[in-house]
């Protein structure tokens, strides 16, 4: 279930980054530079999704480590 949440967070981050890049491109080039607006939107989407993916991987690794520690404690109590 955690992987599903991580994947959906990456998708949501990518969409938000693309929208922010699109808004920034529209502010910068208005309606004259449609190609530049598209490029900035794609760059924002890719950058944000990579950043969210890094955080998601770190969270999944930490959760895995916490589960290992919890199971080791449970074995010691027996």
The model's pLDDT over 37-55, given as tens digits with 9 standing for 90+, comes to 999 999 999 999 999 999 9
Please give the residue range of the domain that contains residue 32: 7-72
What's the total number of domains in the chain? 1
Which token pair is 25?
A: 């491109």
The token pair that represents 65 in the structure block: 């480590």
Q: What pLDDT score was predicted for residue 73?
A: 67
Q: How far apart are CA 7 and CA 12, in angstroms?
A: 9
Indicate whether 78 belongs to any domain. Answer: no
In a domain, 20, yes or no: yes
Task: Indicate the pTM of the whole model.
Answer: 0.79
């Amino acid at each position: 279930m955690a992987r599903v949440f991580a994947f959906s967070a990456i998708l949501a981050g990518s969409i938000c980054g693309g929208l922010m890049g699109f808004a920034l491109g529209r502010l910068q080039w208005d309606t004259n530079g449609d190609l530049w607006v598209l490029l900035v939107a794609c760059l924002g989407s890719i950058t944000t999704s990579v950043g969210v993916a890094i955080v998601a991987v770190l969270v999944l690794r930490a959760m895995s480590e916490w589960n290992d520690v919890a199971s080791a404690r449970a074995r010691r109590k027996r």
